[in-house]
Structure 1
Amino acid sequence: MKKILVVLCFLLVLTACGDNGKAEESKGEGSLKDVSIVLDWTPNTNHTGIYVAKEKGYFADQGLNVEIIMPGEAGSNQLVAAGTADFGVSYQEGVTEARVQDVPIVSIAAVIQHNTSGFASPKSKGINSLKDFEGKTYGGFGAPVEKAILSSLMKKAGADFSKVDIINMGNTDFFTAVKRDVDFAWIYYGWTGVEAELRGVELNMLYLTDYSKKLDYYTPLLITNENMISNNPETVKKFMAAVSKGYNFAIDNPEKSAEILINAVPEIDAELVKASQKWLSPKYKADAEQWGVQKLEVWENYADWMYNNDLLDKKLNSKEAFTNEFLPNNEEDES
């Protein structure tokens, strides 16, 4: 699967990496080093640990001045690959696609341990199983992976994917779309599902992980580029020490961390943030030994699934796509 801008981004990496390395040089004793992280979307509870680390001074404690920037048309993967941003928020599918096309970005932490996404529909639509997708309209965002997931899961369930009508929702939100011309859509329950609860909209939710272990991938995750890892490993280590502390604070203090995000992003829906944070905080770490850790099995499972569904031109070298080496070794490393 070919992606627009990938080749351009790779060329940008060749010219930008050197500048990126220079930007990371110390600015003098007692000063903070400027680094940046680009989000994958508008601020939400997937990003809370980053805002906590900034607000509570965890980045400053590590000698870093971290700028949080919004993604442009290029997206976080492209900006990090080009060295325009030092770190970014991404997702396993995007990193996998980039890596097989030789774009040198690397995942350095899983924000959430398990995939919390799935296909949602108002209960009034009567969609209780994959078979019920037949004759219904799916509202998507135009990515090839959507059709691959729908077709593979429906085939496994003995359902006919050709009977699903697919339209692109564009910028239309889920709640408007399902009232207008869509029967079901792919959502992250931690945000849109929680919003449905607040609106009093009852949903039928078919989680991807209920149907395939291979679809239990990391989304979202944190990334950097190979140049940062090679030339500025101490900066990556300090960044991860601070951001790990931020997410651990959010795990232990959902209400306080929600307030930090609300104060940092005044235009955000405060009620939704508080409810979403309560739902999501336990899921950051879940059953892992520590926040952020990634498993080779998860990377291999999803990469194999993508390759077998013609979403990759070649197989992924999973061992090079991620690393746990910059995670704090223990709680003392975060203090």
Structure 2
Amino acid sequence: MWGISARTLRKALAIAVAIPTALALASCGAASGESSDDSHGNADISFMLDWTPNTNHVGLYVAQQLGYYNAEHVKVDILPTAQAGAETAVENGVADIGFTTLSNVAAFNAQGSALKFVFDLTQQPVARWCALASRTDIKTPKDLDGKTFVSFGSAEQTAVVRQMIKYAGGTGSIQTATAGTNTFDTLTSGKGDFGGFYATWENVESELNGPALNCFVASDWGVPGNPDQLGFAVKRSWLAKQGNAQALQRFLDATMKGYDYALAHPDKAADMLVSGAKEANLDSKLAHRSMEEIASKGYWTDSTGSADSTKLPGTVNMTQAQDYLDFQYKAGTYKDAKGKVGNHAPQASELATNTYATKAAAAATR
């Protein structure tokens, strides 16, 4: 469908948004609102990606290729990201499950959606805020004061960056520039001074191919909680339909097993991602190095290092989540359809559930 290197992930996203919604509707199977779990215990699940395929999604491709879904009697259709995003696709019934963040769920629910976060992949922050290493004038976030932030217009990201700058002693005053198809290109062209990257993908690419980056982690600079709780969300009404909770559980049982395999066998999992997502034409070297980074740094397991490095908890740390939601609420990020901030911060315990991930983790140890 489209050729892609790490540097053109955003270009691929722009191409992906041209895929007609009708095609997604035609391929989504159980997303018609009917139960995903039939009388014989077979389930059809449609899953929408948030971005072009990358190592964040590796568990799905591993589960497909190793037959984990078949063993759970689940048929999974992985859909390319759509123009409106995974959250809207799930809310509108185009997909049963979507890849998103807990904070995005909070933002969409503030606007009237009814999404539920059911699985948290990342247990440590993966976002990085970076300038080119050649910018010797930028040594701490304070030096980002008055600079141009290359972004996609996210109020959430802007709040994070301003907090980092203030914590470092600056005023938090920044300019913004809309990212083009590639943040690397925007920075090297001089149209922006710094931008957001993922440690497990774009930062790995930087190490492989350049240009070198100088990066900051939000939690090191005054941003509370874990800003990067990436995982899966469903629509509450879909989950309430007969059979769908059981279908979701079996899907997560198989998917978490796929992620566990990826942590234990990062090279083999990278091969499965590249071969399973042929349309993305992923850089094999990047996929392998990304999986090595993930497996060695424990981004998906336990930040304290006490957990099994090959077993996903898959659960939301509610304390960290609430700290971050409170911070974003105070920054005015979560507004309703009329542009007004609500009377209280979104509650992590209402937005998310750990029931399904906990059962899936227990099943993986049996």
State the TM-score, normalizing by the size of structure 1.
0.87
Name the residue aligned to 2:221: 211
Alignment counterpart, residue 322 of structure 1, candidates 344, 352, 361: 352
Task: State the number of aligned residues.
Answer: 314
Q: 2:49 aligned with 1:39, yes or no?
A: yes
Q: 1:323 to 1:68 in 2, by over 3 A?
A: same
Which has the larger helix fraction? 1
Question: 1-side partners of 2:158 and 2:43: how far apart?
Answer: 44
Name the residue aligned to 1:240: 252
Name the residue aligned to 1:274: 288
Q: Find runs of 4+ consecutive structure 1 residues off by over 6 angstroms.
A: none
SS of 2:134's partner is helix
SS of 1:286's partner is coil
Q: 2:300 aligned with 1:284, yes or no?
A: yes
Question: 1-side partners of 2:31 and 2:77: how far apart?
Answer: 17
User: What residue ranges of structure 1 are gaps of 5+ in the alignment?
Assistant: 1-17
**Aligned 1:79-98 pairs, distance under 5 A:** 79-98=89-108
Name the residue aligned to 1:297: 319
Q: 2:190 aligned with 1:174, yes or no?
A: no
Residue 328 of structure 1 and its aligned partner are, at CA, apart by: 4.7
Question: 2-side partners of 1:138 and 1:330: how far apart?
Answer: 40
Residue 219 of structure 1 and its aligned partner are, at CA, apart by: 3.4
- Map Cα deviations across residues 225-281 of structure 1 (whole Å, 9 max, x no partner): 112332221111101101110111111111010000011123111111111111013
SS of 2:84's partner is coil
Alignment counterpart, residue 269 of structure 2, candidates 246, 257, 267: 257
- Map Cα deviations across residues 42-63 of structure 1 (whole Å, 9 max, x no partner): 0001100111111111111111
SS of 2:185's partner is helix
User: What residue ranges of structure 2 are gaps of 5+ in the alignment?
Assistant: 1-29, 335-340
Name the residue aligned to 2:84: 74
Question: 2-side partners of 1:325 and 1:35: how far apart?
Answer: 19
Q: 1:221 to 1:332 in 2, by over 3 A?
A: closer
Residue 165 of structure 1 and its aligned partner are, at CA, apart by: 2.9
Name the residue aligned to 1:150: 161
CA contact (8 A) 1:50 1:246 kept: yes
Question: 2-side partners of 1:330 and 1:133: how far apart?
Answer: 43
Superposed CA RMSD: 2.1
CA contact (8 A) 2:160 2:223 kept: no
State the TM-score, normalizing by the size of structure 2.
0.80
For residue 301 of structure 2, what is the amino acid of its counterpart?
K
SS of 2:47's partner is strand
Q: 2:63 aligned with 1:53, yes or no?
A: yes
Which range moved further: 90-99 or 289-298? 289-298
Identity %: 25
CA contact (8 A) 1:120 1:204 kept: yes
Name the residue aligned to 1:62: 72
